[in-house]
A and B are shown apart, each in its own frame.
Chain A
Amino acid sequence: AQSVTQLDSHVSVSEGTPVLLRCNYSSSYSPSLFWYVQHPNKGLQLLLKYTSAATLVKGINGFEAEFKKSETSFHLTKPSAHMSDAAEYFCVVGGNYQLIWGAGTKLIIKP
């Protein structure tokens, strides 16, 4: 069975500093992995996805994630945080005809 664990419920960074949101997954086969973002009182938007092509995946708004099979991780990074990045971020793994969601990480950006 597939599962996903987001290691931090909250991450706080200063504007202009790097962002790291951590995600570990468990899957019995080569997984599809996703990061979704939800801005306050908004819907869910796909940031990026890994589907067994390049292990370094680039997404929208300067985010990227690296698939590391040996560590079963799919951490999300951004070199320089912007105030508009403040949101809830979800790591997701493709399961049996559905997506399995992490509990979310709230990204707080300090001015």
Chain B
Amino acid sequence: DTAVSQTPKYLVTQMGNDKSIKCEQNLGHDTMYWYKQDSKKFLKIMFSYNNKELIINETVPNRFSPKSPDKAHLNLHINSLELGDSAVYFCASSQDLGAGSNYGYTFGSGTRLTVV
């Protein structure tokens, strides 16, 4: 009965590969997010989707492409992985756009991506 679930939890891959991280929420929320946490623990928003529509698309390389097949899922696909992509990626959700700013997000447990 996990609220926001991400898979896989750990991902080790070689430079140049393409990989995907999946995220699902069973809270009935309209809005989902992807965050990147670097080695210094700094959290940076990458994307947000509201009811399958892209809302926030921060300055992120084109190699990163989010896909939202329905409002309960927001997957992150990364092409041509680079060493600098190594980080922890967090998925999150909120009831709606306004609720996120006012009441916070529910986070997944994170995916630790290591590019070698």
The DSSP consensus for interface residues of chain A is strand
- Which stretch (B13-21, B66-74, B107-115) binds chain A? B107-115
Count of CB-CB pairs between chains A and B under 8 Å: 59
In the complex, which of the residues B40, B55, B100, B108 contacts A99, with contact meaning CB atoms closer than 8 Å?
B100
Q: Which residues of A contact B109 (CB under 8 A)?
A: 42-43
Is B64 among interface residues, defined by CB-CB distance under 8 A?
A: no
- Mask of A18-45 contacts with B, CB within 8 angstroms, 1/0: 0000000000000010101010001111
Is A17 among interface residues, defined by CB-CB distance under 8 A?
A: no
- Chain B: number of interface residues, binned into ranges: 20 to 34
Say yes or no: A99 contacts B105, CB within 8 Å. Answer: yes
In the complex, which of the residues A32, A36, A43, A88 contacts B101, with contact meaning CB atoms closer than 8 Å?
A32
- How many A residues, CB 8 Å from partner? 24
Chain A nearest CB, measured from B54 CB (Å): 12
Say yes or no: B102 contacts A32, CB within 8 Å. Answer: yes
Chain B nearest CB, measured from A111 CB (Å): 24
Bound complex: CA of A46 vs CA of B106, how far in Å? 8
Interface residues of A in 72-104 (CB under 8 A from B): 88, 90, 92, 94-99, 101, 103-104
In the complex, which of the residues B42, B103, B108 contacts A32, with contact meaning CB atoms closer than 8 Å?
B103
